[in-house]
Structure 1
């Protein structure tokens, strides 16, 4: 290994370093460049410094990356953070991810402006901490900041796969993760469901009904096509690519007249056939009803119900979130006596630990348990058959 030299005693404009490669500069006093070989392929790049010892350290770092299998190309050092962030948008677009509507504005409004002039190789935890601090100071919640950082982490992961990012340059994103107050405790009572349902317009009401009775995620509901609905067999088939865990699953509809689900889909099919039979979407926009003129929106997929949802919250005073329907659906399945394994297949939860995060005990459950205990202790509960035998 080369001995450390003072800058004054550094050799001429070209130096061979045993076991490392070569260093050279195009003119005296200029920046040092390095030359090294990887699997027979020659690489050359600038060290961005005219200091001999700093240039040697740069070359040693490169050789260390090669030995660990972390080196991909010298070009990765020139890739900008904005480039790999735009790759995330393109990745979501190509894969048809519904989350593009959320991720796109975050990337364009926040992340690209913040890291526009930064190379992927230079971003570190200090830069991430400053970004987190700035967003918190601006009033952003911990959960929202974490979503921003997760998008940035996604960009680096995609960049590593595509060869745009050197694995050694990926920051430790976990170091800036914030604690979230995301306790899942919102539930709909059936009375709240009925009031809120009746306050929604027809297009949004159908989406809400399906969410309540099935516990499906919003994106799973709105991406349903009629080819997935079997009204005669009373079953809906969620496709592999439309579920969060990428696995298909079956949603039972129940019999006609039992709840709103089956009857709603029958009514929805009648509306569809009358208004827009060519549309593939189960949940579609009716559009304007100007006589003699077809609406441009008619038959379009329902993608956003926020305006109608907020109006219904104001009208009813019920402040539950749409995602609370998922927790409610899981709880209702369990309370109805559906076996846990079957409930998990309907809800799409792969592990019991995640399933239990949705099957939360609320205050009503606790009061019910207290009543049952009191009846048992005071003898008001009917004795079990086994107890009668002992008597």
Structure 2
């Protein structure tokens, strides 16, 4: 059996609770006890010493990479590439036991001072200020006073800085999930998980949506061939990338349903979208066209040619965004905002949240509770409410 040099160790009260300090093979380690009872803390220290002497010291040598791999490979967890890149770079070859609150604070400072993050932050801020000034001075409003402009700049700065903090939060949340996964597998103890410094009150979520009046104005400017696509997004809240990949062979022979395969949905689950109301009338304008036209099986349902450019130009004309055709820089209303619009309209019409979530393709969202897969009749009823049928 391997022999390990173990110090006597001691407990120390920090705040309300006790911490255990023990030196194992020359490495000083600290663990939280989670208790303010001295006797219980001492008992936990003795248990830790016994485990260490018996050779249970894997967590002292465990590195970040091993924790990451166990989480992603054995846990089958998918982590966004940019998040993993930052974690890999900062925590390279660091012992899990060395990932303390101080180290996590250092990670936040490091990540938010990266040149690419600072550059993105400054560029986003400039566009956000320009967009807010444009909105504030649209519709014939007078020129902003210095005080009004200063307020806009302050609010935009807070919004953008919150966005930077929020993206760091997401990285810390993933790292915390790695720790918790190891706790569930028994690789480390719950007391080995540090307190994560997640920034609170960070709210930079987009709240853009399009009311019917602006939707009608948008359609008047957009080319006619894009109308079916835009109307479909507005009604369903489906992701534009997903909707652009829908093909005619996904529609049944009677043109009653659209079968969206899991490969196109974010949650990976198939979804059937009814194309007609209960009385048989079409829900979408492309349905009638489909019934009249012969389509190739793999031909896209919607013509989305030059959609992005046309969208940006139209939004700029309506003061819903700012757009520079030369640099292709745009800031403002996005097709993704149709998702909020559709969900808001459905909920406002009295459609149950679970039904709205199924239609838009959400599976988990803070706005809605978890939902089960719904049958098509519930979806038909939902669109029937919107259409007044």
Q: Structure 2-normalised TM-score?
A: 0.50
Asked if structure 2 preserves the Cα contact closer than 8 Å seen for 1:217 and 1:323, the reply is yes
Question: What is residue 129 of structure 2 aligned with on the other side?
Answer: none
Asked if structure 2 preserves the Cα contact closer than 8 Å seen for 1:217 and 1:326, the reply is yes
Question: What is residue 104 of structure 1 aligned with on the other side?
Answer: 81
In structure 1, list runs of 5 or more residues that go unmatched.
1-21, 26-31, 35-45, 52-56, 288-304, 357-391
Give the counterpart of 2:179 among 156, 172, 176.
156
Q: Which has the higher contact order (CA 8 A, sep 6+)?
A: 2
Query: For residues 350 and 124 of structure 1, do their structure 2 counterparts lie closer, same or farther at Cα, with a shift above 3 Å needed?
Result: same
Structure 1 counterpart SS, 2:97: coil
Query: For residues 351 and 258 of structure 1, do their structure 2 counterparts lie closer, same or farther at Cα, with a shift above 3 Å needed?
Result: closer
> Does 2:188 correspond to 1:188?
no
Mapped to 2, the partners of 1:218 and 1:248 lie a distance apart of 17
> Does 2:50 correspond to 1:75?
no
Q: Which has the larger radius of gyration?
A: 1
Mapped to 2, the partners of 1:315 and 1:86 lie a distance apart of 50
Asked if structure 2 preserves the Cα contact closer than 8 Å seen for 1:253 and 1:261, the reply is no
> Does 2:100 correspond to 1:124?
yes
Question: What is residue 274 of structure 2 aligned with on the other side?
Answer: 252
Moved more, 318-327 or 191-200: 191-200
Pairwise CA RMSD = 5.4
Query: Counterparts of 1:170-319 in structure 2 under 5 Å?
Result: 170-173=193-196, 175-182=197-204, 185-193=207-215, 199=222, 209-217=231-239, 221=243, 229-230=251-252, 232=254, 234-237=256-259, 250-254=272-276, 258-260=283-285, 262=287, 270=295, 273=297, 276=298, 313=315, 317-318=319-320, 319=332
Mapped to 2, the partners of 1:183 and 1:210 lie a distance apart of 24
In the TM superposition, residue 223 of structure 1 has moved relative to its aligned partner by: 7.6
Mapped to 1, the partners of 2:344 and 2:355 lie a distance apart of 13
Structure 2 counterpart SS, 1:251: strand
In the TM superposition, residue 47 of structure 1 has moved relative to its aligned partner by: 1.4
Asked if structure 2 preserves the Cα contact closer than 8 Å seen for 1:80 and 1:119, the reply is yes
In the TM superposition, residue 123 of structure 1 has moved relative to its aligned partner by: 0.9
Structure 2 counterpart SS, 1:354: coil
Asked if structure 1 preserves the Cα contact closer than 8 Å seen for 2:232 and 2:284, the reply is no
Question: What is residue 48 of structure 1 aligned with on the other side?
Answer: 25
Query: For residues 162 and 353 of structure 1, do their structure 2 counterparts lie closer, same or farther at Cα, with a shift above 3 Å needed?
Result: closer
Asked if structure 2 preserves the Cα contact closer than 8 Å seen for 1:256 and 1:262, the reply is no
1:176-211 CA distance string (max 9 Å, x none): 233222466421134544665775898x98765543
Query: For residues 165 and 146 of structure 1, do their structure 2 counterparts lie closer, same or farther at Cα, with a shift above 3 Å needed?
Result: same
Asked if structure 2 preserves the Cα contact closer than 8 Å seen for 1:235 and 1:252, the reply is yes
Mapped to 1, the partners of 2:308 and 2:174 lie a distance apart of 23
Query: For residues 345 and 233 of structure 1, do their structure 2 counterparts lie closer, same or farther at Cα, with a shift above 3 Å needed?
Result: same
In structure 2, list runs of 5 or more residues that go unmatched.
8-22, 29-40, 122-160, 321-331, 370-389
> Does 2:169 correspond to 1:146?
yes
Query: For residues 265 and 256 of structure 1, do their structure 2 counterparts lie closer, same or farther at Cα, with a shift above 3 Å needed?
Result: farther
Query: For residues 351 and 88 of structure 1, do their structure 2 counterparts lie closer, same or farther at Cα, with a shift above 3 Å needed?
Result: closer
In the TM superposition, residue 146 of structure 1 has moved relative to its aligned partner by: 1.7
Aligned length: 279
Q: Structure 1-normalised TM-score?
A: 0.50
Asked if structure 1 preserves the Cα contact closer than 8 Å seen for 2:183 and 2:189, the reply is yes
> Does 2:89 correspond to 1:113?
yes
